[in-house]
Amino acid sequence: MSIQAVPRGPRARADGFAAGMGPLALFGQGGHEPYARSLPLGLGRLTLRPESPWRETIGRVHFNMLGWSGPATADERELLRTLRGPVLDVGCGPGRMLEAARELGLASMGVDSSPAAVKLATDRGGAAILGSIFDPVPHERGWGSALLLDGNIGIGGNIRVLLERVASLLAPGGQVLAEAEAPDFLDVAYLAVLEDSDGRASAAFPWARAGSKALAFHAARAGLDAVATRTVQDRVFLTLERRP
């Protein structure tokens, strides 16, 4: 299958999370644009934190830009080997998983709302489109697998809605490889900001986080069955299969 990426414009989404609040920012965008600033450098650390100080009990998540920008790890490649193509990388970032899929002979395409990320992914030789996963996507109902890694299960702030959308893009028997957090029953949705080490923050955007048990629950409601759970180097991955 030949993947040809057709550029599309992003639009703000808050599906099922902020109804009536109007358009909200996308991951790491707006404000001081810390994500777009950090991506080309591939260095430093970004912090995802609640937008409201009174929600600090949710906790913060730290992202290593070097990990995002470098090549896929050996463990990630082994996980890719368990999937069938073509592979849709949801929130592909600078394209490291697209690069790994291509090297493994898997047709693949990424979608990301960040122009900087899409440029890096395509410069790397990957096929990637600019836009939201909730926009029209090429080959709908034809994808063999989809990736939701590196926290991307939080896109849009409503995990069930996101998984329903991704499931609708899969071919019969298609699978989603989704990364969960610890603890198992973590299940939160909130407004977050992304901040760099100098304190430059993005605008607020809807986000969600889930542990493996909560993620499996949301998946079941979205028509996906959790058929495997793997813990690799302290990271937890669920394989979710679309029901017939």
pLDDT in tens, 54-104: 888 899 999 988 888 899 999 999 999 999 999 999 999 999 999 999 999
In a domain, 65, yes or no: no
pTM over 0.75: yes
pLDDT in tens, 142-160: 999 999 999 999 999 999 9
In a domain, 204, yes or no: no
The better pLDDT of the pair 14, 74 is held by 74
Torsion angle of C-alpha atoms 33, 207, 211, 113, degrees rounded to 10: -60
Residue 26 sits at the vertex; the CA angle it makes with 193 and 41, to the nearest 5 degrees, is: 75
pLDDT in tens, 101-123: 999 999 999 999 999 999 999 99
- The pLDDT-based confidence of 23 (bands split at 50, 70, 90) is low
User: What is the number of domains present in the chain?
Assistant: 1
Return the closest-CA partner of residue 241 out of 221, 211, 219, 213.
219
CATH number (domain holding residue 218): 3.40.50.150
Contact 204, 24 (CB under 8 A): yes
- Cβ-proximal residues to 105 (8 Å cutoff; 6+ apart), any chain: none
Looking at residue 3, its pLDDT comes to 53
In a domain, 172, yes or no: yes
Alpha carbons 166 and 215: distance in angstroms, whole number = 14
| Chain-centre distance for alpha carbon 225 | 19
User: Is pLDDT above 60 for 17?
Assistant: no
- Cβ-proximal residues to 234 (8 Å cutoff; 6+ apart), any chain: none
In a domain, 14, yes or no: no
**Domain range holding 174?**
73-186+209-242
In a domain, 154, yes or no: yes
In a domain, 107, yes or no: yes
In a domain, 26, yes or no: no
In a domain, 36, yes or no: no
